[in-house]
Amino acid sequence: MRPAELLSAMTAAEREAAGLMREAHDILAECKTGHRDVVTAYDRKVQELLIARLSEAVPGARFFCEENDRHDELSAEHLFIIDPIDGTMNFVRGLHHSCISVACCCGGVLTAAAIYNPYADEMFTALRGEGALCNGRAIRVTADPFCETVTACGTSPYNPELTDKTFALLRMAFLESLDIRREGSAALDLCSAAAGRVGVYVEPSISLWDYAAGKLIVEEAGGVCRTLEGEELPFDGRKSSVVAGSRENVAEFLRLAAKL
Ligand code: LIP
């Protein structure tokens, strides 16, 4: 199946699943690993719908998903990495800033990405080697220097052992860039970096389903994604720190972070 056909199936499934988010009511949060790591029946319904539609479109497709421990082999011919609702806490609290994130790997190579924010009606997409788009218009990371941009940050609330390190990084970003933003969705933060809305997105620990699609969108928008140690992000299912943005701004952030 051609990458463009895969992407078309992804975006169609996301737009259909977004209806479940818009119609949501009486949203009940269920705790997973702790009181901040929550899931809802809507996360599971969105994931089930995406799996059903993508299985119809791509016979034999495999899945690596946030919910229900659906973790198929990452090297499959067509593997979809799904975060059904990224920004679940926002979704539960009625803070309309969440998205559906789907990446497609072909034989272990990240090939297509789609992240849909139903509240803003913004569909971010990328195909490897073909650039990144928002609602069909090309997007690029910003050319502005780090000190002249706003920094998007995540607080890794599932990892309280990282809190001191996290807020030291946020303090540095606040002092060295124009300001910080904690908007609550890693996937949308990566899209903001790809669209040049923020200079850097940083978070000390997130999961593969949080960053898989956003990573390709950032790279196809001319940016880079690195760990806080300056390394390539892992693609083996492990959690990772993420620093994303233009090559220059990621390098500047890492230089400043190394001095903490
Ligand atoms: C969330 C991320 C957020 C991060 C949270 C969590 P979820 O994803 O989008 O940036 O800080 O720890 O990982 O759980 O809402 O899909």
Nearest CA to ligand 1 atom 1: 87
Instruction: Give per-residue pLDDT as tens, 182-221.
Output: 999 999 999 999 999 999 999 999 999 999 999 999 999 9
* Residue 9 to residue 210: CA distance in whole angstroms: 20
pTM, to two decimals? 0.97
Residues with C-beta less than 6 Å from any ligand 1 atom: 66, 83, 86-89, 154-158, 185-186, 203, 206, 210
CA 2 – ligand 1 centroid, Å? 31
Can you give the pLDDT at residue 38?
86
**CB-CB contact of 99 with 187 (8 Å):** yes
Domains of the chain are: 3-138 (3.30.540.10), 146-257 (3.40.190.80)
Q: Which atom of ligand 1 is nearest to the CA of 37?
A: 14
Q: Which atom of ligand 1 is nearest to the CA of 159?
A: 12
Quickly state the pLDDT bin for 32 (edges 50, 70, 90): confident
Indicate the angle between helix axes 208-220 and 186-194, nearest 10 degrees.
10
pLDDT at 30 over 90: no
